[in-house]
Amino acid sequence: MSDDLNWRPVGHERDWPADGGKVVQVGARRVGVYRHAGKWYALKDICPHAGVSLAKGPVRDGVVMCIGHGWTFSLASGDLVSGPAGFSVATYAVRQRDDGTVEVGT
Amino acid sequence: MIAQRRLVVIGNGMVGHRFIEEAVARGLHQSWHITVLGEEPRAAYDRVNLSTFFAGKSADDLSLLPSRDYYHQHAIACHLGDKAAAIDRASRIITTAGGRTVLYDRLVLATGSFPFVPPVPGRDAAGCFVYRTLDDLEAIRAWATGRTAAGEARKVGVVVGGGLLGLECANAVKNLGLVTNVVDVAPRLMGIQVDDGGGALLRRKIEALGVKVHLAKVTSELTKRDDGSVAALRFADKSELPTDLVVFSAGIRPRDDLAKSSGLAMGERGGITIDHACRTSDHDVFAIGECALHQNRIYGLVAPGYHMARVAADHLAGVEDPATFSGFDMSTKLKLLGIEVASFGDAHGSAAGCHQLAFSDSRTETYKKLVLSADRKVLLGGILVGDAAAYGQLHQAMLNRIDLGTNPEALILPTIGDAKPAGFGIAALPDSAGICSCHNVSKGAICGAIRSAKLTEVGQIKSSTKAGTGCGSCVPLLKDLLKAELKKTGVEVKNHLCEHFPRSRQELHHVVRVQRIRSFDELITRHGVGTGCEICKPAVASILASTWNDHVLDAEHAGLQDTNDRYLANIQRDGTYSVVPRVPGGEITPDQLLCLGRVAKKFGLYTKITGGQRVDLFGARLEQLPLIWEELLTVGFESGHAYGKALRTVKSCVGSTWCRYGVQDSVGLAITLENRYKGLRSPHKLKSGCSGCARECAEAQSKDFGIIATENGYNLHVCGNGGMKPQHAPLLAADLSQEQVIRYLDRFLMFYIRTADRLERTATWFNKLEGGMDYLRSVVIDDKLALAAELEADMQRIVDTYQDEWRTVVEDPARRARFRAFVNSDAKDESVVMASERGQPRPATWEEKRDRVANLLTV
């Protein structure tokens, strides 16, 4: 990960479930931060389809499913995995420090 | 250009329509110009299930057309409400009652049948009907709901005819709410399909439903009132049966007048004579269905009619090796007034030297008879009343002449203890065995489809082969075939919970209890591999909760929970949550009602009454949940567990305290039970109902456990289900005291929790339980497994350690801190936007909220 990024702490790893997402604020941005299968991911937290918070949806097999209409997005790329083509959400860099602090880089 | 040839079909009943579908399947609509003429104003509908029209089905529900514009789509001209009046075979012209003339090159007659009305004096009285078309049903309904000349409601109906059609018709009259009588000249019901033993049981069962049966009664006259409406049936023995309505349903006669007047060859007693290709005496004219006479026989069921449709279509299409009609197996399985009846082959044992085996049980109300060949090796036929589950297998054994071995009795005798019910392995059937007779699909075709398309579910077999989509009686066989085929192809049907635990849920439950394991981490370290997944985590969370009853949001359990359990609320599609406080038995105080209203207004929530006698508050943002509960707790509300795989509600009717009919205090019992089992985590949700009398207003028989009050106590029903696949809850035990109800429920519920698979409702669990209700009774009542004391103790521990999950959260700042929209801020969730509809909030549509959330999208 590039260190040109501006890393900002958003919480401690114990705030997250073993597998799943939570929403954080990074300045004016709403970011969904996910822990899944031992890795961290971060996506812009609004479904481009109907404006629902993505991080509330279930996470499995590397995708998060929107609670609104069941569209799924790749946690790694933000690309739409199932649903009408042509939508995606932005991704962000995210990391966990040795002391458990979770940081998002912008 | 050669002018397209013209194919005309007269009749748009079930068989006439099936012919069109068969014709389209063969591409006939591309090479012929097809015209359909129908007398009724409606396109083809399901006459077999006509009685459901009075149980709430609409004419549209009964329609057989795959889509409304099916005929138009396939360029088939369809003229309904215009009866064909004459056929000029010399010029090949049909004229209709409406004055239309239609030319044909080939003609298919599917004119069906009409109900036979015995020639008794007075049959023209007002209030006398036949039972054949939707128009007939509408006329019957109008009369039944009308008033007599004296201004009284009509109360009594009589069906003349105790055969298959008569009983179906009795169901319709009963559905109309009339006192229903069935009259027949024969000494038993369904004389064609069942024998004296089966008929007697059928009569008992039908009478238990409140339908009065009058057999061996010859109607000599219908008497009339002054206004010309029917007053009573007068019988040859001079007795009378007063009535407000009469429906004749005593058999059918072929509608052959059109064919007769056109000079086609007819049977002596009617019916259009056809050959093996379903051709009439005119090479260009076919006849199919109930108007056709094949080797002096009329076939009055739909399956043979469908087969004729196939035969005629094959011959018209000129396919190689066309199907032929050479008689038809009239075996049948049906449900009449909710009673299963099956009859197959030589049901009356008319073959020379044959043996008959019969088993009759007055407790379970079943009658089963087998007719065996002289050497007792081969099944020739049989009758099943009350329980026809074995029909598929027995029918196949008969058709395929399977060797029954030395002990054919076992096929109908009830099983004792853990013994599996006897039966033939499905493997014994040859590939040519016809499994689905409605769609003519063989075992070979089904197994081939399973193998080649890698099918794994019965639904896939249905859509891929059409098997099981007609009457549905072969569906159990499809399941067996699927299981056998999957096993053969090496797809092992494992019962492991998931890849992380090489054990079944039942085994895991056992080790958790016996080894006193209290956390997921401990369980996976000792008995699993890896870190777990979305299947095993919630399943283990449920096992732990139903064993140790810790708070589901305790640190070591919180991360395991499913989406809804995670925040003790039900997430909705806009990302908000709904809140359902517990209302035991549906009894709620005015103060609680006021509190609900106050909370809804204060937090801007949408309110709706649920099906379980509670109030659901929708539209709460995550951070509002503890604040909402803070207020709900003040008037005594507790968590309703609507979010959990746990006990939901015990619905009740008002019971003997208020209701004039109630025989016990159903509300009191419902509250006791709901308070006892509230918070109980289980493999799937649990619903219950408690009715104060046999009128069953609480719908207890559609619940996982249901109690119905009797004069002597309570009847306990278990393993019912509403939802997608409704199933009635069978009776576990009758006339129990309240203490017995609780004891049996403790045992039953714990036994289910221990042994069911994950996400398996009680009904599904029960259907898989070998030995069925007898086995369940032996465990729960007779304590055959010597488990009862343990099950009761386990339940008592859950009851004793109950805590209100929401009170614990509200009173504990650490747990409360989880309920924030953002991990790192107390800001409110701006993505939630409401609009207003019918005076209440609802989630805004994207168009309505786009501007409001635009800033969230752009940054």
Task: List pLDDT tens digits, range A7-33.
Answer: 999 999 988 888 889 999 998 889 999
Please state the domain extents for chain A: 7-105
pLDDT of residue B419: 45
Query: A-side interface with B, Cβ within 8 Å?
Result: 9-11, 15-20, 22-25, 27-30, 33, 37-38, 45-46, 48-53, 56-60, 67-69
CATH T-level fold of A7-105: Rieske Iron-sulfur Protein (2.102.10)
pLDDT band of residue B665 (cuts 50, 70, 90) is very high
Single-letter code of the amino acid located at B848: E
Q: Which CATH superfamily is domain B128-250 in?
A: FAD/NAD(P)-binding domain (3.50.50.60)
Strands lying side by side in the sheet with B570-571: B570-571, B577-579, B615-620, B606-609
pLDDT of residue B421: 46
The backbone torsions φ and ψ at residue A65, rounded to the nearest 5 degrees and listed phi first, read -100, 130
pLDDT of residue B491: 62
B702 in Cβ contact with B721 (< 8 Å):
yes
CA–CA gap between residue B397 and residue B390 (Å, rounded): 11
CB-based contact B559 A19, cutoff 8 Å: yes
Which residues in chain B have their CB less than 8 angstroms from residue A78's CB? Answer: none
The residues facing A7 across adjacent strands are A105
- Mean pLDDT over all residues of chain A? 88
Residue predicted with more confidence, B851 or B665 = B665
CA–CA gap between residue B285 and residue B279 (Å, rounded): 6
pLDDT of residue B556: 83
Tell me the nearest-neighbour CA distance from B833 into chain A, angstroms. 9
Which residues in chain A have their CB less than 8 angstroms from residue B857's CB? Answer: 46, 48, 51
Which residues in chain A have their CB less than 8 angstroms from residue B498's CB? Answer: none
Is the domain defined by B645-803 classed in CATH 3.30.413.10?
yes
ipTM: 0.91
pLDDT band of residue B431 (cuts 50, 70, 90) is confident
pTM (predicted TM-score): 0.54
CB pairs under 8 A between A and B: 90
Mutate to test the interface with B, among A24, A35, A45, A53 (most CBs of B within 10 A): A53
CA–CA gap between residue B287 and residue B309 (Å, rounded): 9
Q: Search chain B and give the residue with CA nearest A8.
A: B824
Cα distances (Å, whole numbers) of residue B484 to B431, B466, B769: 14, 20, 19
Single-letter code of the amino acid located at B655: G
pLDDT of residue A84: 67
Which residues in chain B have their CB less than 8 angstroms from residue A53's CB? Answer: 575, 829, 831-832
Give per-residue pLDDT as tens, B747-795.
Answer: 999 999 999 988 899 998 998 887 889 999 999 999 988 899 999 999 9
Q: Is the pLDDT of residue B146 over 50?
A: yes
Tokens of B563: 């989406």
Q: Is the pLDDT of residue B609 over 90?
A: yes
CA–CA gap between residue B724 and residue B822 (Å, rounded): 37
Q: Search chain B and give the residue with CA nearest A32.
A: B822
Give per-residue pLDDT as tens, B704-750.
Answer: 999 999 999 999 999 999 877 789 999 999 999 999 999 999 999 99
The residues facing B222 across adjacent strands are B233
Residue predicted with more confidence, B556 or B216 = B216
- Facing A23 at nearest CB: one of B563, B821, B857: B821
Tell me the nearest-neighbour CA distance from A10 into chain B, angstroms. 6
The residues facing B733 across adjacent strands are B716
pLDDT of residue A2: 52
Taking phi over 0 as left and psi of -120 to 50 as alpha, with beta for the rest, B102 belongs to beta
Single-letter code of the amino acid located at B18: R
CB-based contact A56 B571, cutoff 8 Å: yes
Q: Tokens 């997250």 identify what position?
A: A16
Which residues in chain B have their CB less than 8 angstroms from residue A58's CB? Answer: 534, 563
What is the rounded average pLDDT of the residues B281-304?
A: 94
Residue-by-residue DSSP string for B63-127: B--SSTTHHHHTT-EEEES--EEEEETTTTEEEETTS-EEE-SEEEE---EEE-----TTTTSBT
What is the rounded average pLDDT of the residues B206-221?
A: 93
- Facing A29 at nearest CB: one of B573, B574, B859: B859
A73 in Cβ contact with A64 (< 8 Å):
yes
pLDDT of residue B420: 46
Cα distances (Å, whole numbers) of residue B689 to B518, B583, B651: 33, 13, 4
Please state the domain extents for chain B: 5-113+254-317, 128-250, 505-567, 645-803
Beta strands in B646-725 (DSSP E): 647-652, 686-691, 705-710, 713-718
Tokens of B831: 């993505």
B542 in Cβ contact with B645 (< 8 Å):
yes
Is the domain defined by B5-113+254-317 classed in CATH 3.50.50.60?
yes
Domains B5-113+254-317 and B128-250 share a fold: yes
User: Which residues 547-586 in chain B show a CB within 8 A of chain A?
Assistant: 558-560, 563, 566, 571-575
CB-based contact B531 A18, cutoff 8 Å: yes
Q: According to DSSP H, which parts of B756-787 are helical? A: 762-768, 772-780
B468 in Cβ contact with B458 (< 8 Å):
yes
What is the rounded average pLDDT of the residues B33-62?
A: 87
